[in-house]
Amino acid sequence: MVPSFVVSFLVTTSWLFVTLATPTSETSIENKNKKPNILFIFTDDQDARMDTLEYMPNLQKYLIQEGTLYRNHYATSALCCPSRVSLLRGQYAHNTNITDVGMPYGGYERYNELQLGEDYLPIWMQKAGYSTHYIGKLMNKYSVNNYNKPIPAGFDYQDQLVDPYTYVYNTAVFSKDGEEPVYFNNTYQTDVIHTKAVDALKKQRNTEKPFFLWVAPIAPHGQFVKEGDINDLVSTRTEPPEPAARHAHLFQDVKVPRHPNFNPVNQTKTASYWKEFSYLNETQVKALDEAYRKRLQSLQAVDEMIPSLIQELEFQGKLENTFIIFSSDNGFHLGQHRAPPGKATDIEEDINVPLVVRGPGVRKRHISDLVSSHHDIAPTFLALAKGDHHVPSWVDGGVIPWIPKLRNHPKPVSRESFAVEFWMDKLIVENVGASTRPGWNTYKTLRVISDKYNYKYAVWCTGERELYNMQEDPYEINNLYTSDNAIDLKLIDRLDALLSVLKACRAHTCRNPWPVIHPNDPDIVTLKDALHKKYDEHYKQLSKFNFSKCLGYYSIENEEHMFDDRSLLSNNQKNVQLVTKRQIHFDIEESGEKRCSVQQHSSNDVEQVTDKEVTRLFNLVPRSEEPVGHAVPTSEELKKIEQRVPDELLKRNVDWVKYGFYNRFGN
Ligand SMILES: *[C@@H]1O[C@H](CO)[C@@H](O)[C@H](O)[C@H]1NC(C)=O
Ligand SMILES: *[C@@H]1O[C@H](CO)[C@@H](O)[C@H](O)[C@H]1NC(C)=O
Ligand SMILES: *[C@@H]1O[C@H](CO)[C@@H](O)[C@H](O)[C@H]1NC(C)=O
Ligand SMILES: *[C@@H]1O[C@H](CO)[C@@H](O)[C@H](O)[C@H]1NC(C)=O
Ligand SMILES: *[C@@H]1O[C@H](CO)[C@@H](O)[C@H](O)[C@H]1NC(C)=O
């Protein structure tokens, strides 16, 4: 049986769609003339397309009914690390060059080499007068070995999850403010985050300083399992998330929604990535349904945080002056187009993410179709914080008008279009024990969304192309870009040109790409404007975008197009030229001083150990075999059981990735 609250919330949400909402007056915020607080709840791998929000009753009650649900919010690189860095920096992945979760194209160490954490959201919030707080998972590859190399900048208080325990629900290991990591035996990780988040709020009781609190649990990300007795490198595998014991019985009959793209009898996706997937048999579908249930169960502990946080804000009399934002780093797919569980593709399940906002001036019980992306979040927070001047000019994102006052912002969000991009030489497979498989997942995809049209246009590194009319075909079943379809070449001409700009855009060209294509026509600001037949010839003579070859990383030369000229690439961009490791060394020698605090890890530092030894080290932090999470612990209880991670674990410099942790699964 589906528990009754789920049924009632399913009903409630459909009712929301027909409610005529009245905007809250903005006077409440102006009256106080105080900077609003910002509370950001950020999950990991939660999609917006498989009804997960429907199973979060507190999210429904306290955020959706009291705020606005944004249905068209997107991650533009659907993988944890690239997506988180995009959000933190307000940039597309093609401008951060963080394109993977670990070395050499991503992860905490690469992020530091590129000095990306020296000028980013929390620092801008501090400059705007905020105290800043972070609890949970910040970045991939932040670990027991590098937790203070360096300590993430910009936080007045931080309590970060550390690898290799980030994705182990029953082993909660944190580094507080860059101190030696500690663990909480027999305690459910999300519950520790819950208690720490409430404690962080309690510290705001006697201060009027505005705060920015970011709470980032890992649910509903899959869990990693390290098996003790298998003496080979494949002994790390993933399984569905582990729920808190008190939620493990829920949703027994719930299954992955059987949308038309779920495990289709005939494969309709045409690009190489998809076409080799075979029809999933009953056993495989059962595993997907089980993974889906575990995801919903694991989200319950996140949902339970919401009333605790609301209650504390209310107690302090700050609820009315606090924006609460709920989102996730990227989405997830389970069986759509026959794909095994994973992310990082350009289908809506992977890129469309939840976004719910409540706060002073935000419409209540409203569903919005406004288009936005993760790189717009940081500039929007700074606009709410009245700190726009702290947002560097190189930021790609614009301000999302969550409240009426932001509607005339000089740097508005891109009106209807954005690019999605990815570079990888393998396919990510999670949750079903399986490892990743070979295949190309390198593409550039354009999304254009308005109330009149809705398109997805993709160019793969293999030269394959896809075009979906998302208004008529929301499940991406009918690729209009195939020889047996009469394709609208004039539309393709426009979409290809727009993609060619956005795939390499910077700053203002991301917010309004049209002047690059129409330098003398400032009136053109939408696809509809550009579709006028007087521009047919102009578009016809533009060359089409193509990758030169398939690569698993971002190379400008491999993606060159006529719009990638110097004016597009170098406008106001002096300080964001992508820095390479060699350049950092060079800078240090040149200036004769240690300009950057980044600790360089040479591969020599890393120990060669047997997999058995890695397993032993991993097991130095105990993990309960029994279900944990019967109740959320109090802070006193946490204090009592807090223990330091054994020294041996901190001293040994293990390259966890090499031993099967994380990288293969693309977390
Ligand atoms: C962790 O908890 C388990 C079960 O309660 C107990 O057996 C074990 O001794 C504890 N370990 C540590 C290191 O506290
Ligand atoms: C699958 O393709 C076959 C052969 O083209 C066709 O006969 C059948 O109707 C299709 N089935 C579905 C469910 O679309
Ligand atoms: C389903 O497919 C998997 C993977 O190919 C295979 O191992 C398994 O035996 C199949 N199960 C059934 C019931 O056909
Ligand atoms: C793109 O490149 C592929 C592979 O090299 C080629 O087959 C295709 O014709 C090219 N497409 C266009 C539109 O240039
Ligand atoms: C991104 O980083 C990779 C790895 O260092 C490098 O090979 C590539 O050239 C970089 N791309 C750009 C556009 O700087």
Taking residues 417-441, report their average pLDDT. Answer: 84
| Residue to probe by mutation, ligand 5, list 91, 103, 553, most atoms within 8 Å of CB | 553
Taking residues 235-259, report their average pLDDT. Answer: 92
Please state the pTM of the whole predicted model.
Answer: 0.91
Q: How far apart are CA 35 and CA 350, in angstroms?
A: 34
Q: Where are the alpha helices (DSSP H) in 157-207?
A: 189-202
Residue with the smallest CA separation from ligand 3 atom 9 is: 283
Is 186's C-beta closer than 6 angstroms to any atom of ligand 1? yes
State whether residue 42 is helix, strand or coil.
strand
How many Cβ atoms are within 10 Å of 392's Cβ, its own excluded? 16
Is 252's C-beta closer than 6 angstroms to any atom of ligand 3? no
Q: How far apart are CA 571 and CA 568, in angstroms?
A: 6
CA of 480 to the centre of ligand 2 (A): 18
What local confidence, expressed as pLDDT, does residue 375 receive? Answer: 98
Q: Give the CB-side neighbour count of residue 9, counting CA atoms within 13 A.
A: 20
Atom of ligand 3 nearest to the CA of 278: 5
pLDDT band per the 50, 70, 90 thresholds, residue 435? low
What local confidence, expressed as pLDDT, does residue 631 receive? Answer: 98
Mean pLDDT of the chain: 88
102 vs 434 pLDDT, higher one: 102
Q: Which of 333-337, 446-450, 621-625 has the lowest mean pLDDT?
A: 621-625
Taking residues 545-549, report their average pLDDT. Answer: 97
Q: CA-CA distances (angstroms) from residue 379 to 91, 180, 302, 392, 421?
A: 10, 33, 26, 9, 21
Q: How far apart are CA 166 and CA 480, in angstroms?
A: 42
Question: In 442-537, which ranges are E strands?
Answer: 443-449, 454-460, 465-469
Residue with the smallest CA separation from ligand 4 atom 4 is: 463
Is 185's C-beta closer than 6 angstroms to any atom of ligand 1? yes
CA of 659 to the centre of ligand 5 (A): 25
624 vs 114 pLDDT, higher one: 114
pLDDT band per the 50, 70, 90 thresholds, residue 427? confident
Residue with the smallest CA separation from ligand 5 atom 9 is: 555
Could you tell me the strand order of the sheet in which 355-358 lies? 366-373, 68-74, 355-358, 322-328, 37-43, 211-216, 131-136, 157-161, 172-176, 182-184, 642-644
How many Cβ atoms are within 10 Å of 283's Cβ, its own excluded? 7
Among residues 640, 636, 632, 642, the alpha carbon closest in space to that of 308 is found at: 632
**What ligand has the least distance to the C-alpha of 477?**
2
Residue 257, both tokens:
């929604």
Residue with the smallest CA separation from ligand 1 atom 12 is: 185
pLDDT band per the 50, 70, 90 thresholds, residue 227? low
Q: How far apart are CA 467 and CA 544, in angstroms?
A: 14
CB 240 within 8 A of CB 291: yes
| Residue to probe by mutation, ligand 5, list 110, 569, 576, 580, most atoms within 8 Å of CB | 580
Locus of tokens 């399984």: 239
Atom of ligand 5 nearest to the CA of 556: 13
Q: Which helix (H) or strand (E) holds 324?
A: strand 322-328
Is 577's C-beta closer than 6 angstroms to any atom of ligand 5? no
Atom of ligand 3 nearest to the CA of 281: 1
Render pLDDT for 594-638 as a digit per residue (tens, 0 to 9). Answer: 333 333 344 446 778 887 788 888 889 998 888 999 999 999 999
Question: Which of 25-29, 124-128, 430-434: highest mean pLDDT?
Answer: 124-128
**What ligand has the least distance to the C-alpha of 542?**
4
The domains located in the chain, with CATH, are 4-414+632-659 (3.40.720.10), 426-598 (no CATH)
What local confidence, expressed as pLDDT, does residue 662 receive? Answer: 58
Atom of ligand 3 nearest to the CA of 282: 13
**What ligand has the least distance to the C-alpha of 263?**
2
Taking residues 230-249, report their average pLDDT. Answer: 77
Q: Which helix (H) or strand (E) holds 499?
A: helix 489-502
Burial per residue of 167-192, b for 16 or more beta-carbon CB atoms within 10 angstroms, e otherwise: bbbbbbbbbbeeeebbbbebbbbbbb
CB 121 within 8 A of CB 96: no
The radius of gyration computed from the CA coordinates of the chain, to the nearest angstrom, equals 24
Q: How far apart are CA 55 and CA 190, in angstroms?
A: 17
What local confidence, expressed as pLDDT, does residue 428 receive? Answer: 79
Residue with the smallest CA separation from ligand 2 atom 2 is: 266
What local confidence, expressed as pLDDT, does residue 655 receive? Answer: 81
What local confidence, expressed as pLDDT, does residue 292 receive? Answer: 98
Q: What sign does the CA torsion over 69, 72, 76, 78 have?
A: positive
Would you give the DSSP letter of residue 397?
-
Taking residues 499-515, report their average pLDDT. Answer: 96
Q: How far apart are CA 242 and CA 622, in angstroms?
A: 16
| Residue to probe by mutation, ligand 4, list 540, 542, 546, most atoms within 8 Å of CB | 546
Percent of the chain with pLDDT over 70: 85
379 vs 655 pLDDT, higher one: 379
Residue 529, both tokens:
């404007």
Residue with the smallest CA separation from ligand 4 atom 2 is: 463
What local confidence, expressed as pLDDT, does residue 482 receive? Answer: 83
Percent of the chain with pLDDT over 90: 77
Is 642's C-beta closer than 6 angstroms to any atom of ligand 1? no
CB 192 within 8 A of CB 633: yes
Q: How far apart are CA 38 and CA 432, in angstroms?
A: 37
Is 622's C-beta closer than 6 angstroms to any atom of ligand 1? yes
What local confidence, expressed as pLDDT, does residue 32 receive? Answer: 54
Is 463's C-beta closer than 6 angstroms to any atom of ligand 4? yes
Q: How far apart are CA 571 and CA 513, in angstroms?
A: 13
CA of 166 to the centre of ligand 1 (A): 20
| Residue to probe by mutation, ligand 1, list 170, 186, 623, 642, most atoms within 8 Å of CB | 186
What local confidence, expressed as pLDDT, does residue 599 receive? Answer: 36
Among residues 101, 105, 110, the alpha carbon closest in space to that of 137 is found at: 101
What local confidence, expressed as pLDDT, does residue 228 receive? Answer: 52
Taking residues 140-162, report their average pLDDT. Answer: 96
Burial per residue of 590-629, b for 16 or more beta-carbon CB atoms within 10 angstroms, e otherwise: eeeeeebebeebeeeebeebebeebbebbeebebeeebbb
State whether residue 305 is helix, strand or coil.
helix
CA of 293 to the centre of ligand 3 (A): 21
The pLDDT of residue 65 is above 50:
yes
Is 284's C-beta closer than 6 angstroms to any atom of ligand 3? yes
Atom of ligand 2 nearest to the CA of 264: 13
**CB-based contacts of 313-316 (< 8 A; 24+ apart in sequence):** 313/37, 313/39, 313/201, 316/201, 316/204, 316/205
DSSP string, 561-585: -TT--HHHHHTT-GGGSPPPHHHHH
Residues with CB under 6 A from ligand 2: 265-266
Taking residues 193-208, report their average pLDDT. Answer: 97
Residue with the smallest CA separation from ligand 5 atom 1 is: 97
Taking residues 498-520, report their average pLDDT. Answer: 96
The pLDDT of residue 666 is above 90:
no
CA of 203 to the centre of ligand 2 (A): 62
The pLDDT of residue 665 is above 50:
no
CB 204 within 8 A of CB 39: no
Is 555's C-beta closer than 6 angstroms to any atom of ligand 5? yes
Cis peptide before 150 (omega within 30 of 0): yes
pLDDT band per the 50, 70, 90 thresholds, residue 653? confident
Q: How far apart are CA 506 and CA 96, in angstroms?
A: 11
**What ligand has the least distance to the C-alpha of 556?**
5
The pLDDT of residue 6 is above 50:
no
Q: How far apart are CA 140 and CA 162, in angstroms?
A: 9
Residue with the smallest CA separation from ligand 1 atom 10 is: 185
What local confidence, expressed as pLDDT, does residue 426 receive? Answer: 85
Q: Is 80 a catalytic residue?
A: yes
Burial class (CB in 10 A: 0-12, 13-18, 19+), 76: buried
pLDDT band per the 50, 70, 90 thresholds, residue 217? very high
| Residue to probe by mutation, ligand 5, list 95, 555, 583, most atoms within 8 Å of CB | 555
Burial class (CB in 10 A: 0-12, 13-18, 19+), 451: exposed
Would you give the DSSP letter of residue 75?
-
The pLDDT of residue 27 is above 70:
no
Is 283's C-beta closer than 6 angstroms to any atom of ligand 3? yes
**What ligand has the least distance to the C-alpha of 619?**
1
Is 544's C-beta closer than 6 angstroms to any atom of ligand 4? yes
Taking residues 58-73, report their average pLDDT. Answer: 98
Locus of tokens 């209650």: 311
The pLDDT of residue 566 is above 70:
no
What local confidence, expressed as pLDDT, does residue 660 receive? Answer: 67
Question: In 83-235, which ranges are E strands?
Answer: 131-136, 157-161, 172-176, 182-184, 211-216, 223-226
